């Protein structure tokens, strides 16, 4: 399903969410494993608010790029984007999880993190 908000992501993560191996990580098939990790919801909000920079591994493939920050978006739009990428391409919320709310985004916005701190938060998720 088309989303005007996701239009600003698809140049990198691709319309089908598959990304480009080794360059832009996939969101399809990957966002649910982040959601399922303890702290994963907060981390996803932080990626959108503060960006991400440094080496990450997704499904055995390494990425070392720059994910831009989208702090200029409204809280409800960030929640909407996260709900989009959590439910497209066969992605689903883990059982018991509700959609993202603007209030959840607001809580992460109060933290004022750097992209490097977001990477530290990612490293604590214990993603495989
Ligand atoms: C990483 C979503 C726009 C490039 C990520 C991650 C998410 C995400 C959730 C974290 C993946 C993980 O931790 O495994 C989005 C959304 C976007 C967007 C929803 C639109 C608002 C973009 C754009 C670019 C980009 C436009 C390219 C200019 C990247 C890169 C990474 C990344 C390179 C990995 C960063 C690293 O290697 O440290 N994105 N993204 N993203 N994104 Fe985006």
H or E stretch at 75? helix 75-87
Write down the pLDDT at residue 128.
78
Name the residue of 25, 30, 72, 81 whose CB sits within 8 Å of the most ligand 1 atoms, as the mutation to test its pocket: 25
Tokens 């992209």 belong to residue? 115
pLDDT, tens digit only, all 128 positions of the chain: 788 999 999 999 999 999 999 999 999 999 999 999 999 999 999 999 999 999 999 999 999 999 999 999 999 999 999 999 999 999 999 999 999 999 999 999 999 999 999 999 999 999 97
Return the CATH number of 6-123, one of 3.40.50.620, 1.10.760.10, 3.20.20.150, 1.10.10.10: 1.10.760.10
Write down the pLDDT at residue 2.
80
37 phi, psi to nearest 5 deg? -80, 145
How much distance in Å is there from the Cα of 103 to the middle of ligand 1? Answer: 22
Q: What tokens were used for 16?
A: 């089908």
How many other CB atoms are found less than 10 A from the CB of residue 102? 14
Q: Where are the domains of the chain?
A: 6-123
């Amino acid at each position: 399903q088309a989303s005007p908000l996701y239009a600003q992501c698809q140049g990198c993560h691709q319309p089908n969410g598959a990304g480009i191996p080794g360059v832009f990580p996939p969101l399809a098939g990957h966002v649910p494993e982040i959601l399922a990790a303890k702290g994963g919801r907060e981390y996803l909000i932080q990626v959108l608010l503060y960006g991400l920079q440094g080496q990450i591994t997704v499904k055995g493939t390494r990425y070392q790029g720059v994910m831009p920050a989208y702090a200029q978006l409204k809280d409800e739009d960030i929640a909407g984007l996260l709900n989009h990428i959590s439910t497209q391409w066969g992605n689903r919320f883990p059982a018991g999880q509700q959609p993202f709310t603007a209030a959840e985004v607001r809580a992460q916005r109060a933290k004022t993190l750097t992209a490097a701190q977001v990477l530290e938060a990612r490293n604590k998720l214990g993603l495989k």
